[in-house]
Structure 1
Amino acid sequence: MTTSSNSGTPETTTHFGYKTVKESEKEKLVAEVFHSVAAKYDLMNDLMSFGVHRVWKKYTVELSGVRRGHSVLDIAGGSGDLTYAFSKRVGDQGRVVLADINDSMLKVGRDKLADRGVSGNLEVVQANAEHLPFADNEFDVITMAFGLRNVTHKEQALAEFYRVLKPGGRLLVLEFSKPKFEFLSKAYDLYSFTALPVMGKLVTNDSESYRYLAESIRKHPDQETLKGMMQTAGFRQTTYHNLTGGIVALHRGTKA
C-alpha cells in the first residue's frame, strides 16, 4: 500500500493494529507501546493468559532441541523467560543472546535475569529483527515469542533468521494465531476487545496498548500463511503446532 507525500513521492504504508500508518512511523509506534507496558509486562502476561503463557513457553523450550554448548538467539526476548530456560540448558560452554529492539524491555529482562543469577553465558543486545547484527551461520537455535506480529517486514526478519542460523539450525516462532473453532474464535474476540483494554487500564493505566495488542493479533498471518512464509525464506521441515485451540501456534523450521 502506498500514499503520496507532500513532494508527490509515493510513501509505503503498513498496518499498526487496524490503523494504516507510514512504514517509517510504525517502529516508533510499536516502541511506544512496549515502553509503556514494560514495567508490568510479566504481570499482564500472567493475567491475560491466566498463566498459560508459561506452558506455551515450556513447550517451545522442549521442542527446541537446545542442549549443552549450543548458541541460542532469543529475539524479541522481552523479559527473558525463554532466555532463562535456555541459559540453564546450554551450560557454561554455551551462549544465549537476549535481543530486543526495545530498550525498556531489555532493561526489564536484563535485571530479571541478573536477579535469577544468569550471567556467565548471557549476552544482551539491542537489535532489530530485520537487520540482525550477527554473522552468518552463528546460532544453533533462534526463538521468537510473541514478537513477529510487531515486525513491519516479516519476510525480511525470516530471511535474517535463516542467514544467522547454522546449517541444520532451527527456528521456533511462538505467536498468537487463528483459533481452530468458530465458537472459540468468537469467545476470544469478545475477551480480547473488551477485557484486555479494561485490564490494561486497571493495571498499567494504558488501555490503548492492549487494544493494539488485540488488533495486531488479528492482522498477523494465520498458521498456513506463516508456514508458507518460512518455506519461502528457505526453511525446511516446516511444521506448526496449535496450542490452546489455535489461539497460539508454535512454528518450527530447519535451515538446509
Structure 2
Amino acid sequence: MADSDPLVAPHPPLAAYYHGGAARDGFVRRLFDETADSYDRINTAFSLGSGAWYRRAALRRAGLRPGQAVLDVAIGTGLVAREAVRILGGPRGVVGIDLSEGMLRRAGASLPIPLICGRAEALPVADVSFDFLSMGYALRHVAALPAAFAEYRRVLRPGGRLLLLEIARPEGRLAYAATRLYLGQVVPGIIARLGGGERARLLMRYYWDTIDRCVPPAVILESLAAAGFTEIGCEVQLGIFRAYTARRPDAGQG
C-alpha cells in the first residue's frame, strides 16, 4: 500500500519549479511570501464560487462547534480560520500555523489570534491540545502525507476532528480538459488583468501542476487510516472540491 512508505509525497518533485524534493520547502515559502498581498484576489478567481459559505458549511459538517480549540494548518491569509471564528463566536481558541511569514502577516491583519511559523510535518504545538484541526487547499504542498497526518493525530485530543479541504484532479476526460483550461489558462489570464504580477501567475501554474500530479484521493484516505484516524470520509462538490474528514479515536481505542 502506498501509505506504508513514510516518505510518500502528495505529488512527485516538479522540476519546472525546483530541483529535488529538498528544495521544495524553500520554493513554496518564497512563492507564498511573494504572492501574499494578492492571494485573496487569486483565491476569488479560482474558487469557482466556493467561497466563505463553502468553507463555513464544511467546518460545520465536519463537527466544529463553539467552545472548541482549533488549529488551522497552512492558514494562509486566514480564509478558513475566519469562518472558524464565525462559528465559534469569537477568536478565542483559534491558532494558525503557516510556513510563509508573508501569509502570516496577512492573516494577522484581520485575525486577532496566535500565529506561528511552522510546517505541517513538525507542528510546534503540544500533544493533545486541540479539538479540531483544519487545512484549506494546502495538502498538496506538504512534503510527506504520513508525517503530516501523524502530527495531526498527535496534536488532536481523543475524539478530535479533522477537516482537509482540497482540489482534486477531476475524473472523466471532458471534466479534466475543462478544469485544465480554466485553472491552467483562464485563471492566470484573469490574474494578469487584476494586476497580480508574474509571481501570481506562476502560483496559479504551480497550483494546477500540483493538482494534475497529485496522488489519487484513495491514497489520501488510506494514509489517514494508516495514521490511526477513524470515521474517514470524503465529500465531493462540483467534481473537484473535496472535503476529507476524520476523527482521532477516543482514549483507549487506538
SS at match of 2:169: coil
Aligned position for 2:215: 221
SS at match of 1:125: strand
Are residues 1:129 and 2:123 paired? no
Are residues 1:144 and 2:148 paired? no
Aligned position for 1:163: 154
Tell me the distance in 1 between the aligned counterparts of 2:47 and 2:126: 36
Which runs of structure 2 are paired with 1:26-41 in the superposition (5 Å)?
26-41=24-39
SS at match of 1:140: strand
Aligned residues: 236
Aligned position for 2:242: 249
Asked whether the 8 Å contact 1:178–1:223 carries over to 2, the reply is no
Aligned position for 2:206: 212
**Structure of higher CA gyration radius:** 1
Tell me the distance in 1 between the aligned counterparts of 2:121 and 2:172: 33
Return the offset for 1:170: 0.8
Identity %: 27
Aligned position for 1:73: 71
Return the offset for 1:91: 4.3
Q: Which has the higher strand share?
A: 1
Tell me the distance in 2 between the aligned counterparts of 1:161 and 1:58: 21
C-alpha offsets along residues 81-109 of structure 1, whole Å, 9 cap, x if unaligned? 22122223334694000111100001111
Residue type of the alignment partner of 2:205: R
Change in 2 beyond 3 A, CA 1:75/1:211? same
Residue type of the alignment partner of 1:253: A
Tell me the distance in 2 between the aligned counterparts of 1:17 and 1:54: 34
Asked whether the 8 Å contact 1:71–1:90 carries over to 2, the reply is no
Which structure carries more relative contact order (alpha carbon 8 Å, separation 6+)?
2
Change in 2 beyond 3 A, CA 1:20/1:35? closer
Residue type of the alignment partner of 2:24: K
Asked whether the 8 Å contact 2:184–2:205 carries over to 1, the reply is yes
RMSD: 2.1
Asked whether the 8 Å contact 1:140–1:166 carries over to 2, the reply is yes
Tell me the distance in 2 between the aligned counterparts of 1:244 and 1:105: 28
Asked whether the 8 Å contact 1:45–1:51 carries over to 2, the reply is no
Asked whether the 8 Å contact 2:165–2:243 carries over to 1, the reply is yes
Aligned position for 2:23: 25
Tell me the distance in 2 between the aligned counterparts of 1:76 and 1:213: 15
Range 46-55 or range 131-140, more displaced: 46-55
Aligned position for 2:228: 234
Asked whether the 8 Å contact 2:170–2:176 carries over to 1, the reply is yes
Instruction: Give the unaligned 5+ runs of structure 2.
Output: 1-10, 250-254
Tell me the distance in 2 between the aligned counterparts of 1:93 and 1:174: 21
Return the offset for 1:30: 0.7
Asked whether the 8 Å contact 1:75–1:99 carries over to 2, the reply is yes
Aligned position for 1:173: 164
Tell me the distance in 1 between the aligned counterparts of 2:121 and 2:102: 19
Q: TM-score normalised to the size of structure 1? A: 0.85
State which of 13, 16, 19 in structure 1 corresponds to 2:14: 16
Aligned position for 1:56: 54
Asked whether the 8 Å contact 2:18–2:27 carries over to 1, the reply is no
C-alpha offsets along residues 25-74 of structure 1, whole Å, 9 cap, x if unaligned? 11011112112211011111112224323343122222132222210001
